[in-house]
Every structure is written in C-alpha cells, then in structure tokens.
C-alpha cells in the first residue's frame, strides 16, 4: 500500500460523499485525527478497518489498496460490448457494457468467455406470429440446465430466466438486429453468430455451419459445428 496514494484517494472519495473527516471517523469508530493522518499519508488504516472503509467510500478493496481507480471506459455503454458474469456461489447474473470490476459473495468475478455451441447445446427456434418461440433438448436438471437466455440488440438487452425441471420454452419478440446468448450451468456461455436478424420472417442465410434451415424455412436450429463468419446471402 502506498500511503500517500491511498490517503489522497480517501480524501477525494470522502469529499465526493460529502463527508467531513469527523463524519467519516464516526462511521468507522476512529478519531478524526486518524482520518487526517491517513489523508496526509502519515499513516494507513488498520487492516480490520479496510472492509468498512471500502463500503463507506464506495470503492473496492483493490482500488483502495492501490490508491487509484481505473481510467473511465469511454465505450459509451454500447450493448455490443456486453459481458456476462455469473457468481459460482449464489448463481446471480451480472452484466456490464464495459470494463468493470465485478464481485459477488466475496469473490472477484471474471466475464464469461463466449463459446461455439455444439449439437448438445443447440436451440430450436420457431416463428409464431410476431415472436420467435425457442425450445431446446438440453437437460433441465438441477445442477445442469440452461439458466438464462439473453437477446442483445444495439439498444437493449433482454434477459429471460430459465428454471431447472421445467422444459425450456421462451418467446422473443421479432425485432431488431442482434445476438442471442444462452448459459449452461456446467459448460458456460454460448452465442448465436453476429448479425442474426430477429425481425426477419425467414432466416437470411443458407447453411453456414451455424444454422441449418429446414425445408419449410419456418424452423431452424442453431448448431455452430463450423463457426466460420463466411455467410452466403440468399
């Protein structure tokens, strides 16, 4: 810990919270002199105080100990940069549209890597009126199931929770140009190929290795046996 950097950060964050040195000291159960010494780099908080100090200042422990915060991410929060995080302890889903330090249940989480689905993780998509009706033969057991689907377009992300011991049956409005993600609790995150047009009546590409169209053009299955991006427009 660099005492001067950490002290300067404590001062900046304290002022952002509108706290005086006395106010912060009272929240932590220390003297205002101790807070003053921290901020001047003449001392550092006791290790036992760091969790409470982190909570009061709204900064994670890593940032507090390093004495600095990461540079702001200027991607503009575009949905095309979305990342998914799943806590292995409680199973909660967290999303971010840029670089983010995400923690849950005391653990630092890493974004889920996107994989190329095989036949065991395929989805069946059927057009029903103005929606896509999604089903799958994937196991839906406790401990091994698809736990969520997410449709991500340029302007929004729609997440649909799936429950174990229930057949996977989800409906997605046919609108916009986006990507479909789904998460297997044992094998991770999968994604449909870029450019899937969820507003189209028919799928706009012939057999590509990603999707195999049925003879009726009404139903198709996302497979990803060969994830080449060389599409063949009709």
Tens digits of residue pLDDT in 53-86: 988 988 888 778 888 776 655 555 677 789 999 9
pLDDT at 156: 83
Q: What is the number of alpha carbons within 13 Å of residue 43 lying toward its C-beta?
A: 10
Do 160 and 212 belong to one domain? yes
Residue 50 lies in a domain: yes
Range of the domain at 100: 79-109
pTM for the whole structure:
0.63
Q: Mapping DSSP to helix (H, G, I), strand (E, B) and coil, where does residue 153 land?
A: strand
Do 184 and 132 belong to one domain? yes
Residue 147 lies in a domain: yes
pLDDT above 90 (res 161): yes
Count of domains forming the chain: 3
Do 52 and 132 belong to one domain? no
226-to-108, 146, 160, 210, 211 alpha-carbon distances in Å = 33, 22, 27, 6, 10
pLDDT at 213: 35
Q: How crowded is residue 89: how many other Cβ atoms within 10 Å of its Cβ? A: 11
The residue count of the chain comes to: 234
Residue 232 lies in a domain: no
pLDDT at 176: 67
Sign of CA dihedral 205, 210, 212, 217: negative
**How far apart (Å, rounded) are the C-alpha atoms in residues 203 and 218?**
8
DSSP state of 108: E
pLDDT at 118: 87
Strand 131-135 vs strand 102-104: parallel, antiparallel, or unpaired? unpaired
Average pLDDT, the chain: 79
pLDDT above 80 (res 1): no
Residues 6+ apart with CB under 8 A from 218: 126, 127
Residue 41 lies in a domain: yes
């Amino acid at each position: 810990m660099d005492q001067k950097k950490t002290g300067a950060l404590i001062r900046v964050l304290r002022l952002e919270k509108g706290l005086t040195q006395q106010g912060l000291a009272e929240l932590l159960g220390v003297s205002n002199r101790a807070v003053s010494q921290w901020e001047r780099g003449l001392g550092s908080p006791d290790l036992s105080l760091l969790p409470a100090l982190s909570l009061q200042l709204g900064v994670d422990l890593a940032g507090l100990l390093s004495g600095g915060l990461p540079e702001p991410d200027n991607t503009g929060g575009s949905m095309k940069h979305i990342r998914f995080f799943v806590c292995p302890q409680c199973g909660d889903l967290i999303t971010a549209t840029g670089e983010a330090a995400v923690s849950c249940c005391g653990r630092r989480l890493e974004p889920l890597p996107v994989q190329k689905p095989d036949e065991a993780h395929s989805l069946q998509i059927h057009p029903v009126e103005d929606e896509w009706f999604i089903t799958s033969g994937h196991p839906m057991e406790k401990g091994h199931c698809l736990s969520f689907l997410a449709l991500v377009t340029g302007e929004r992300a729609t997440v649909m929770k799936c429950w174990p011991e229930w057949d996977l049956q989800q409906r997605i409005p046919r609108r916009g140009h986006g990507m479909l993600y789904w998460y297997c609790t044992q094998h991770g995150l999968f994604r449909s190929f870029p450019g899937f047009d969820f507003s189209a009546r028919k799928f706009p590409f012939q057999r590509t290795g990603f999707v195999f169209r049925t003879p009726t053009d009404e139903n198709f299955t996302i497979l990803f046996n060969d994830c080449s991006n060389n599409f063949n427009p009709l």
